[in-house]
A and B are shown apart, each in its own frame.
Chain A
Amino acid sequence: MSLALAVMILLITLIIAALAIYLISTIAELIKINRGLAVVIGSVGEIVAKSAPVNGVVDAINSNLVAGRNLLENLFLKKGGDDCGGLVESLFPGEGAKFLQRVGRRGSVVNTGIVYTRGTQILASLGRGAPIGAAHARGPAVRDPKYATTAASMLYPRPGGDPKARPKSPVVGGNSPRQFEAALTPGTRPRLRDGSEAPPPSAAPDMPMGGSTGNVPMPSFGGGPSAPTGRVEIATPPPAAAAPPPAEDAGGDEPGRLNVKGKRPWER
């Protein structure tokens, strides 16, 4: 056997040995990979199973939140009117125009938080007649941080007139001024509404209820003034006096009187 042939056989043997070694090592690594993937697939299956209902739940939550947002926005648009953008701008600078664009409205956005004092918008909506947006949209702020109350009061007409002309609050106590004329008896005043002297009050008629002067028979318990016997008896009322006959005159305008046709004034 020649030397060249022997070298060839040796090289072929080395090649086969290298192939075997590397391929066996690769197969071993692939087996490890297979086991690792089996573990990973189990965990991934759990992830898929656990995250499956998330989509529906999140969609439901989102739909609820969108419904609430639409409700509040529509209420805001209804109550705020054209000042919605300015109110949003005052709370979230830079968002007023976006808000108007999102709700499909147009108009200029006036930052009411800068132009007006806190609460001016509310007072204006209550009918105080504040000059909302009058020449202050782009000019300097009318709100004076040091004298904010003065600036706010200058925005309004005085709703109650001059404060000095208003009547003062009543004083309660012994030092209170007598602003009203005292009544003689309950319900009777010495002067009429026009200031003239009122006629002297007549004698108080007998009240048909209550006291001992009444004519209405009261139920007596247990047989009158004697000691109670435990039984409740209603005393029979005395026979009522005969009702007076209606007046014969033709004064039919008074209630309770009969007119010439024998009917009440309100009957036709």
Chain B
Amino acid sequence: MIYLWVMDIILVASLFLLGGLLKGVLGAAKSIVPRIDAIAGVAAAASKDLDAVVVLLTTQNYISQIVGSVANYGGSLDIALPDA
């Protein structure tokens, strides 16, 4: 008979312990959801910001032209100015 009471005590302790652990797991799972939503918003905004990446191709073209002009200007300076 006393064994039954001992088992009852163990079950009560297990109930509280299991309840606490499951509550922690549920709280962690609930805390992930808003962060996932925040990440989704940031990712969408970043994806929208990256639409301007196409302008880099134009910038590359312009920079190539500018460097070419600078090269021509340097060649003219090389002829116009005396060496040191």
Q: Are the CB atoms of B14 and A15 closer together than 8 Å? A: yes
Chain A 186-205 per-residue mask, 1 if CB under 8 angstroms from chain B, else 0:
00000000000000000000
Q: Which chain A positions have C-beta within 8 A of B46?
A: 43, 47
Q: Which chain A positions have C-beta within 8 A of B33?
A: 29, 32-33, 36
User: Which residues of B in the span 10-34 have a Cβ within 8 Å of any Cβ on A?
Assistant: 11-12, 14-15, 18-19, 22-23, 25-26, 29-30, 32-33
Chain A 61-104 per-residue mask, 1 if CB under 8 angstroms from chain B, else 0:
10011011001100100111111000000000000000000000
- Most chain A CB within a 10 A radius of its CB, from B26, B46, B57: B26
Question: Which residue from chain A places its CB closest to the CB of B31 in the assembled complex?
Answer: A29
Q: Are the CB atoms of B51 and A18 closer together than 8 Å? A: no
Question: Which residue from chain A places its CB closest to the CB of B10 in the assembled complex?
Answer: A11
Question: Which residue from chain A places its CB closest to the CB of B3 in the assembled complex?
Answer: A4
Determine whether A235 belongs to the interface, using a CB cutoff of 8 Å to chain B: no
Q: Are the CB atoms of A30 and B77 closer together than 8 Å? A: no
- Interface residue count for B (Cβ, 8 Å)? 47
**Which of B19, B36, B60 is in CB contact (< 8 Å) with A36?**
B36
Q: Are the CB atoms of B70 and A72 closer together than 8 Å? A: yes
Which residues of B are interface residues toward A (Cβ below 8 A)? 1, 4-5, 7-8, 11-12, 14-15, 18-19, 22-23, 25-26, 29-30, 32-33, 36-37, 39-40, 43-44, 46-47, 50-51, 53, 56-57, 59-60, 63-64, 66-67, 70-71, 74, 77-78, 81-84
Which residues of A are interface residues toward B (Cβ below 8 A)? 2, 4-5, 7-8, 11-12, 14-15, 18-19, 22-23, 25-26, 29-30, 32-33, 36-37, 39-40, 43-44, 46-47, 50-51, 53-54, 57-58, 60-61, 64-65, 67-68, 71-72, 75, 78-83, 125-126
Given contacts A50-B50, A51-B50, A71-B70, 18 further A-B contacts (CB under 8 A): A2-B1, A4-B7, A15-B15, A18-B18, A18-B19, A18-B22, A19-B18, A26-B22, A29-B29, A29-B32, A30-B29, A33-B29, A36-B40, A40-B40, A75-B77, A78-B84, A80-B84, A125-B82
